[in-house]
Amino acid sequence: MSAWIIEAEPVGGAGIDAAIWEYVAEVGRRLLGRPATDAELRAVLDRDPHGDLAPPRGAFLVARDDDGDLIGCVGARLLDDLPATAELKRMYVRPAHRGVGLGRALLVAAERSAADLGATRIVLDTRTELVEARTLYGAHGYRETAPRNSHGDAEHWYAKTLR
């Protein structure tokens, strides 16, 4: 089993841009059935930025292995249009570290961070093709809800009440 530590880091910290690029590229490849071009990936990041996954209204959590290498990440941010609601963003586990519970650990850490920000509810949106993520969310108390935004790439919306 892999060992890791999950801590809050600046969203622009060491290795984070590369991990987010990998995340967007993997999602793009799964959706398009081919590698996305750099221009396509940049357009996605421009349309859905993540700079607000930072205090005082957000948090970005990074999982690093014993060597300090980034192996996963997740962010949470408070939503302006929904009181006491945080949004889960950019959850990613590098392929070599999947299947050992890191996704669950990141999810729990993000929920804790959202609660620390004052959220009593957490929401997210995702795609049909991301079966593993949808399974993880369902197994941890997230329930599908009606669409809550007009995000062009979303097909499934989830919510969970935080304790």
Residue with tokens 């299947």: 99
pLDDT tier, 93 (very low <50, low <70, confident <90, very high otherwise): very high
Other C-beta atoms closer than 10 Å to the C-beta of 83 total 11
Is residue 1 predicted with pLDDT exceeding 70? no
- As a whole number of Å, the CA-based R_g of the chain is 15
What pLDDT is attached to residue 108? 98
CA-closest candidate to residue 32, choices 20, 44, 17: 44
Return the higher-pLDDT residue of 141 and 1: 141
Q: What percent of the chain has pLDDT over 90?
A: 80
Distance CA 28, CA 23 (A): 9
What pLDDT is attached to residue 48? 85
Residue range 23-81, pLDDT digits in tens: 999 999 998 999 999 999 999 899 888 889 999 999 999 999 999 999 999 999 999 98
CA-closest candidate to residue 2, choices 109, 125, 97: 97
Q: For all residues of the chain together, what is the average pLDDT?
A: 93
User: CB neighbours of 42 closer than 8 A, spacing ≥ 6?
Assistant: none
pLDDT tier, 150 (very low <50, low <70, confident <90, very high otherwise): low
Is residue 8 predicted with pLDDT exceeding 90? yes
Please give the CATH architecture assigned to the domain spanning 5-161. Answer: 3-Layer(aba) Sandwich (3.40)
H/E element, 27:
helix 16-32
